[in-house]
Amino acid sequence: MKTYNLDFLIAGLVLLLIVLYHFKKQKKLDSANNRIFYFFVITALADVSFDMICTLLIMAESAELAALTRVLLTIFYILQLTLPVALVYYAQTLRETSLNKIRKEMIIWFVVPVIILFLIITNYWNGLMFSIDSYGIYHHGPLYMLMYYYALLYAGILAFLTLIHGKELTEKNVAVLWEFLFIEAGCVIIQALFGTYLTTGFGISVGVTVLYLTIGNPNTYMDHMTGAFDKHYFDKWFLEQQRKGKPIHVITINVPELKHVNKIFGNNVGDRLLMYITETLQQISPHVQVCRISGKKFFLLMNTLADYEQTRDKVLNLFRKNFDVDGRYVPFPAIICGIINGEKLPENTFISYVDYMTSVVKNSRETVLIQSDEKTMNGFIYEQEIDIFLNEAIEKNLFDIYYQPIYSIETNSYITLEALSRLWHPTLGYVPPDVFITLAEKTGQILKIGLLQFRRVCCFIKENEHIMKQIQHIKFNLSPVEILEYGHVQALLDIIQEYELSFSYFQFEITETVATEYSAHLYEVLDLLLDAGVTLCLDDFGSGYANLNTVLKLPFSCIKMDRSLLRGLNEDPQVAFFYRSLISVLHGMNYRIVAEGVETKEEEEKLREWGADMIQGYYFSRPVNSQEIVEILTKFPNSLI
């Protein structure tokens, strides 16, 4: 009688039970990947158990148990048949979330298992693979090695699929799958060499444990500090809901004050606050899952409107009060966004949509709730379309330039023009520059647009150089991105030279925002421009929170008062007083002043009285195309308008 050593199988069984216990207990996504992993562990467990029972029965060589041994061995063979298929399936779920799709792709790999299944079942009668005689003694059949070849074949299939789909899998996943194959191959070789040690089942258990520890563990999708799920989990969850056609409702929480809390109360308090918040959010409902997407951003995921409403109210209550950390009352306002039916958004845009919604209230010091509605979603979808269109517009140079004349109070004539970009979408129509310039600034496309448009302005001047006798210069807007990009300003100067134009034909407008961001590079760029002979104008003065001390140190020859400063000028004496005082202060510092956004006669009269140098606004003229601007200038040569 042959004796076998069962120690390895017992060890394997223990390993699998530990993995199963932890996996069952963990919070996890109901995904194809997790379902197949669970199936794989259960099959491995059954396989090792049947391996052990059958070995004991074979060793017993009992005539009474012969029939039972035959049945159990058949089941064991079926399990041996299933395991490699489950492993290959599992490997496919690492790159593809739809089980149906995987099934379709794998259909040809099912031919062999089906044939072998037929052989295993018929083996009961013909003993081609094994037989148990009436004394209960085990005999190899002529196809005894078939199961080994089969395992080898499936190892080959797994290796093959891993190679061809390597790009869709992460490096880590590929490495772990290879590791699994090597462990199992090693254990099969040991069993083949030392027949008494049953290491094949043990190899599977070790392989499953390795999978669990590296990629199969749902905890790998967890934020370790708070115990919430992480961004990977959110991505997988989102895809999974889309695949199942479930509604996607998400409440997002942004805590912009985290940096301040860390600074004032210490990192410890900040961390504990985040942990407390996660715990509280996790208790809202078992149907609501909490993800920490980044340091300051949480997403609460759910599928029903009832959950959405209940969660939204609880979250608002939580953040409207100060938090108590060791008796210290810490204010921790949040920007909360509610998004219903997120599945309606274009693919892969959910996070950008949340940023789009939050950007409206960047500077809030109080907890605010913004709920997504059709208008916001359409606004976002509109921007997305424009964003896509911008690439085409740049490639085909579809932009245009309009010019708005600026009137001099001193000479009673137009003294300069501002060049303003224009863009039309074939179906959406006129696209406001505030939309496409802001988008282009975010993506960096503004650099290309800036160059195209500047070339257009130079071309316009070249064709109409006579107008430069009448006006001092043409104003061209430079975005902060353009100024801070190394070499961009030099490229603009090169274009002026290419067209053989005078540098003094140009004045660049720069907004307060860039002027307040002091950097050595900014000074270098401004020097470059001034040395060449280009002048500078500070744009949108008074629209933000400029640090006057820094701004006014920069070499501007002109300051353009933002049109928001004019709001309420006629009704509110305070506004009028403020505007008037600004003019006198800035004049005292030798700046020339442009009043922007003048729309009425009253405004124009007041500004004239207060001594503004120039006026830009619809009262005189809207921005017009190049042909019209030449006509306007020709119609009013240096004289009263």
The span from the CA of 433 to the CA of 439, in Å, is 9
623 is an interface residue for ligand C2E by CB under 6 A: yes
Stretch binding ligand C2E (CB under 6 A), from 86-94, 198-206, 252-260, 596-604: 596-604
Among 223, 240, 509, 613, binds Ca ion (CB under 5 A): 509
482 is an interface residue for Ca ion by CB under 5 A: no
With CB under 5 to 8 Å by kind, the binding choice for 432 among ligand C2E, Ca ion, none is: ligand C2E
Residues comprising the chain, all counted = 641
Asked if 55 contacts 198 with a C-beta cutoff of 8 angstroms, the reply is yes
Q: What is the DSSP letter of 363?
A: T
613 is an interface residue for Ca ion by CB under 5 A: no
* Interface with ligand C2E in residues 54-73 (CB under 6 A): none
| Cβ nearer to ligand C2E, comparing 563 with 580 | 563
Q: How far is the CB of 302 from ligand C2E (least distance, A)?
A: 40
Q: Which residues are registered as beta bridge partners of 146? A: none
Q: Which position has the token pair 């062999």?
A: 112
603 is an interface residue for ligand C2E by CB under 6 A: no
Q: Which residues are registered as beta bridge partners of 197? A: 5
Q: How far is the CB of 581 from ligand C2E (least distance, A)?
A: 22
| Cβ nearer to ligand C2E, comparing 325 with 439 | 439
- Residue 623 three-state SS: coil
How many residues bind Ca ion (CB under 5 A)? The answer is 4
Q: How far is the CB of 248 from ligand C2E (least distance, A)?
A: 35
With CB under 5 to 8 Å by kind, the binding choice for 597 among ligand C2E, Ca ion, none is: ligand C2E
* Residues 512, 513, 516, 517, CA torsion sign: negative
Which bin fits 525, alpha (ψ -120 to 50), beta or left (φ > 0)?
A: alpha
The span from the CA of 589 to the CA of 608, in Å, is 19
Helices 267-282 and 258-265, axial angle in degrees (round to 10):
130
Number of other residues whose CB lies within 10 A of the CB of residue 63: 12
| Cβ nearer to ligand C2E, comparing 123 with 421 | 421
The span from the CA of 144 to the CA of 160, in Å, is 26
Output the CA–CA distances (angstroms, integers) from residue 355 to 163, 301, 358, 432, 442, in the order listed. 38, 17, 5, 21, 12
With CB under 5 to 8 Å by kind, the binding choice for 372 among ligand C2E, Ca ion, none is: none
**By 3-state DSSP, what share of the chain in percent is helix, strand and coil, each rounded to 5?**
60, 15, 25
**Do strands 249-254 and 297-302 pair parallel, antiparallel, or not at all (unpaired)?**
antiparallel
Among 616, 626, 629, 633, binds ligand C2E (CB under 6 A): 616
Q: Give the x-and-dash track for 354-393 against ligand C2E (CB under 6 A).
A: ----------------------------------------
With CB under 5 to 8 Å by kind, the binding choice for 243 among Ca ion, ligand C2E, none is: none
Q: Which position has the token pair 């245009």?
A: 400
Q: How far is the CB of 209 from ligand C2E (least distance, A)?
A: 58
31 is an interface residue for Ca ion by CB under 5 A: no
| Cβ nearer to Ca ion, comparing 216 with 617 | 617
Largest Cα separation within the chain, whole Å, is: 123
| Cβ nearer to ligand C2E, comparing 207 with 450 | 450
* Interface with ligand C2E in residues 511-540 (CB under 6 A): 539-540
**Which run of H or E residues covers position 523?**
helix 520-532
Q: How far is the CB of 560 from Ca ion (least distance, A)?
A: 5
* Interface with Ca ion in residues 533-552 (CB under 5 A): 539-540
| Cβ nearer to ligand C2E, comparing 216 with 623 | 623
| Cβ nearer to ligand C2E, comparing 168 with 392 | 392
**Which run of H or E residues covers position 7?**
helix 7-25
45 is an interface residue for ligand C2E by CB under 6 A: no
How many residues bind ligand C2E (CB under 6 A)? The answer is 22
Q: How far is the CB of 549 from ligand C2E (least distance, A)?
A: 23
Q: Which two tokens stand for residue 200?
A: 């094949």
Asked if 539 contacts 475 with a C-beta cutoff of 8 angstroms, the reply is no
* Interface with ligand C2E in residues 278-317 (CB under 6 A): none
Q: How far is the CB of 620 from ligand C2E (least distance, A)?
A: 9
Q: How far is the CB of 561 from Ca ion (least distance, A)?
A: 9
Strand order from edge to edge, sheet including 368-371: 289-294, 297-302, 249-254, 335-339, 368-371
* Interface with ligand C2E in residues 420-479 (CB under 6 A): 420-421, 432-434, 437, 453, 477-479
Q: How far is the CB of 267 from Ca ion (least distance, A)?
A: 41
The span from the CA of 157 to the CA of 147, in Å, is 15
With CB under 5 to 8 Å by kind, the binding choice for 442 among ligand C2E, Ca ion, none is: none
Residue-wise over 594-625: b if at least 16 C-beta within 10 A, else e?
bbbbbeeeebbebbeebebbbbbbebbbebbe
The span from the CA of 637 to the CA of 469, in Å, is 10
Q: How far is the CB of 434 from Ca ion (least distance, A)?
A: 11
Output the CA–CA distances (angstroms, integers) from residue 483 to 150, 518, 542, in the order listed. 66, 12, 21
Q: Which residues bind ligand C2E (CB under 6 A)?
A: 404, 420-421, 432-434, 437, 453, 477-479, 509, 539-540, 563, 597-599, 616-618, 623
Q: Which residues bind Ca ion (CB under 5 A)?
A: 477, 509, 539-540
